[in-house]
């Protein structure tokens, strides 16, 4: 698109800039400030240079949290993206049932994070939860507070429950934009179901699918409340993801310096990965438009 150059447009952006600067830049400066200082309490700080960063890079705890985080994000993406596409393909295209599906599917998206945690905390309990009770009755030994594998499964199923609909709804929006003539032409060309998906549906979904992957990646990488409510990061540190680790450090132990250094690296990792996504996405946008 050929847009005219107009530097006065800055004035239109100014309110956003001021607001975001207040809510993002100032706090971020505080973090940077902490990350290079040490304190012995009483609000007295000393220059510590890159010491905290070095300490964090050597910290096994952080590497373990990062590892868990990557496995978690990769797992939920690997489940939610194909499942979301699959669900979108099976949704009714129009009529009352389409509305019913849309409303019911959106419901989990608007539940506060800690309530999501609470729901699954209850649902999985062996004594009062439907899931836990049923599994227990079936003779499956399931206990998410004791067993690390069970805790992981619970947290992942919870995330799939919570967010697959977002992927599905985005894909559904992409599918809705395909004119009927494409499906009719495919029938006449005798294309198989797979080819219809591969050459008609998938290309039309590519744009929104990128948004879905980006959103899901970012949000899963920052996940805090839901697993914290269910497992508290345990058993042990089995489900201590990056954010949980950070909050434990910053608000729990008040290790401000290491926490700040950790924050910055955490943010940079997200930024880097998101930048890659963003670049790929805008390239796709340009090719598509």
Site residues (CB under 8 A) for other proteins, limited to 133-192: 133, 161, 165-166, 169-170, 172-174, 176-177, 179-182, 184-185, 187-192
Asked if residue 1 binds other proteins (CB under 8 A), the reply is yes
Residues ≥6 apart with Cβ < 8 Å to 200? 178, 182, 183, 186
Handedness of CA 152, 154, 157, 158 (dihedral sign): negative
Distance of CA 235 to the CA centre of its chain: 22
Residue 289: exposure state from Cβ atoms within 10 A (0-12, 13-18, ≥19): exposed
CB 104 within 8 A of CB 168: no
Judged by CB under 8 A, which of 36, 87, 155, 213 binds other proteins? 87
Asked if residue 3 binds other proteins (CB under 8 A), the reply is yes
The distance of closest approach from Cβ of residue 56 to other proteins in the complex, given in angstroms and rounded to an integer, is 14
Site for other proteins in 19-78 (CB under 8 A): 19-20, 22-24, 26-28, 30-31
Distance CA(118)–CA(122), nearest Å, equals: 6
Query: Closest Cα partner for 269 from 81, 76, 62?
Result: 62
The distance of closest approach from Cβ of residue 153 to other proteins in the complex, given in angstroms and rounded to an integer, is 14
Give the residue with the Cβ less far from other proteins, 186 or 238. Answer: 186
Unique residue bearing structure tokens 């939860």: 129
Site for other proteins in 240-259 (CB under 8 A): 242-244, 246-247, 250-251, 256, 259
Q: Which two tokens stand for residue 66?
A: 């990062």
Asked if residue 129 binds other proteins (CB under 8 A), the reply is yes
The distance of closest approach from Cβ of residue 121 to other proteins in the complex, given in angstroms and rounded to an integer, is 10
Site for other proteins in 193-222 (CB under 8 A): 195, 199-200, 203, 207-208, 211, 218, 221-222
CB 93 within 8 A of CB 176: yes
Q: Which stretch binds other proteins (CB under 8 A): 50-58, 59-67, 125-133, 143-151?
A: 125-133
């Amino acid at each position: 698109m050929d847009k005219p150059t107009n530097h006065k447009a800055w004035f239109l952006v100014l309110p956003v800039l001021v607001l975001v600067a207040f809510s993002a830049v100032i706090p971020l400066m505080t973090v940077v400030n902490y990350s290079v200082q040490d304190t012995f309490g009483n609000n007295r700080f000393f220059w510590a240079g890159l010491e905290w960063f070095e300490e964090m890079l050597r910290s096994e705890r952080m590497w373990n949290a990062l590892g868990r985080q990557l496995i978690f994000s990769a797992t939920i993406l690997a489940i939610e993206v194909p499942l979301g596409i699959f669900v979108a393909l099976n949704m009714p295209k129009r009529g009352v049932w389409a509305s019913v599906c849309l409303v019911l599917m959106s419901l989990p998206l608007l539940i506060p994070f800690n309530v999501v945690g609470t729901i699954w905390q209850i649902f999985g309990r062996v004594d009062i939860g439907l899931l836990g009770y049923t599994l227990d009755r079936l003779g499956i030994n399931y206990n998410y507070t004791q067993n690390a594998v069970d805790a992981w499964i619970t947290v992942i199923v919870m995330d799939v429950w919570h967010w697959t609909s977002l992927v599905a709804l985005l894909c559904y929006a992409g599918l809705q934009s395909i004119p009927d003539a494409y499906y009719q032409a495919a029938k006449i060309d005798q294309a198989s179901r797979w080819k219809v998906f591969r050459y008609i549906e998938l290309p039309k979904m590519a744009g929104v699918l990128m948004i879905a992957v980006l959103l899901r990646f970012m949000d899963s990488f920052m996940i805090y409340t839901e697993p914290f409510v269910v497992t508290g990061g345990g058993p042990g540190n089995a489900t201590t993801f990056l954010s949980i680790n950070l909050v434990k450090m910053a608000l729990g132990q008040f290790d401000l310096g290491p926490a700040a250094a950790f924050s910055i690296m955490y943010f940079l990792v997200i930024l880097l990965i998101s930048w890659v996504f963003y670049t790929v996405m805008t390239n796709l946008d340009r090719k598509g438009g």
